Amino acid sequence: MTEWLERHVPKMVLAPSFVAILIFVYGFIFWTGWVSFTRSRLLPKYEIKGVIQYERLFASPRWDTAMDNLFIFGGLFIGISMVLGLLLAILLDQKIRAEGALRTIYLYPMALSMIVTGTAWKWIMNPGLGIEATVRGWGFESFAFDWVVNPDRAIYAVVIAAVWQASGFVMALFLAGLRGVDEEIIKAAQVDGIPTWRIYSAIIIPSMAPIFLSAFIVLAHLAIKSFDLVIALTGGGPGYSTDLPATYMYAMAFSRGDIGQAASSAMVMMGVVFAIVVPYLYSELRAKHD
């Protein structure tokens, strides 16, 4: 009896979670994919009608704006967060006295939810309350910082808030990577008279390639599924100038009552995620086998 329990209790404990994941994750992915090939509107229909929803999706100017914003937001968010995170990690790697306090300050934004971050930055960038009003109160009447209400610049306001939220997390990843580099190699390079900047650019940073890849995957995933930050900061506006695929999907499902469009946009989003994650997983599994 004891041997039977040892063999089967772990399976019995994991079985409910496995069944729940099978139903509520993979089951609903399959359901969403099925609905995306129907003419579903306010209520789901299950008769397959081909790729009509995808044709409507790719013909929609609002979806084009959402995808353009995703590339702008994703590119700037990932690039700036990685550069800023690396610079902060290098700064803290100099073993300065206030390292503990600075590390806590840099990591603090990651402890906040995106809703809180978006709400705070909405106040900060509000022309009537935030930076613009403060600077004008100092006597600079011509100063303007109205990005959050400017359709041409509002997406960059979202980038600022997102970078503030995520750069501390990236710094922590890079700092762990820097602290994992063999100090003997660094000391040998210093003895040879190699400048510090050259040690970082030629020895330390290239050895952190897996850390860079991990940071990229995490940030890309955050960029693709970004929803709450946009809703709290701009609400997708002005108009739909800051729409992202996730906000488009939400609008179609809950504001427009167009489940078919929401499902097709969700499947495209999942395809983008797979295009990023699958090669990463393949490289990781291949490295382990090698």
| pLDDT value, residue 287 | 65
Confidence of residue 290 (pLDDT cuts 50, 70, 90): low
Confidence of residue 288 (pLDDT cuts 50, 70, 90): low
Could you read off the pLDDT of 256-282 as tens digits, one per residue?
889 999 999 999 999 988 888 887 777
Q: What is the mean pLDDT of the chain?
A: 88
Using CA atoms, how far apart are residues 16 and 29, in angstroms rounded to an integer? 19
Q: Are the C-beta atoms of 233 and 121 separated by less than 8 Å?
A: yes
Angle in degrees, 0-180, between the axes of helices 154-179 and 209-224, rounded to the nearest 10 = 150
Using CA atoms, how far apart are residues 161 and 86, in angstroms rounded to an integer? 18
Amino acid at 4: W
* Helices and strands counted in the chain (H then E): 14, 0
Could you read off the pLDDT of 148-165 as tens digits, one per residue?
989 999 999 999 999 999
Q: Cβ atoms within 10 A of the Cβ of 275, count?
A: 11
**Exposed, middle or buried, 276 (CB in 10 Å: 0-12/13-18/19+)?**
middle
- Token pair of 162, please? 């997102």
Using CA atoms, how far apart are residues 287 and 290, in angstroms rounded to an integer? 5
Q: Cβ atoms within 10 A of the Cβ of 6, count?
A: 9
DSSP designation for 147: G
Confidence of residue 75 (pLDDT cuts 50, 70, 90): very high
Min mean pLDDT across 94-98, 133-137, 225-229 is at 94-98
Percentage of residues of the chain with pLDDT beyond 70: 98
| pLDDT value, residue 273 | 86
Q: Are the C-beta atoms of 221 and 273 separated by less than 8 Å?
A: yes
Residue 37, helix vs strand vs coil: coil
Min mean pLDDT across 7-11, 12-16, 49-53, 88-92 is at 7-11
Going by C-alpha positions, the residue among 277, 275, 252 that lies closest to residue 263 is 252
Q: Give the position of tokens 């709450």.
A: 228
Global confidence as pTM: 0.87
The mean per-residue pLDDT over the stretch 64-73 comes to: 94
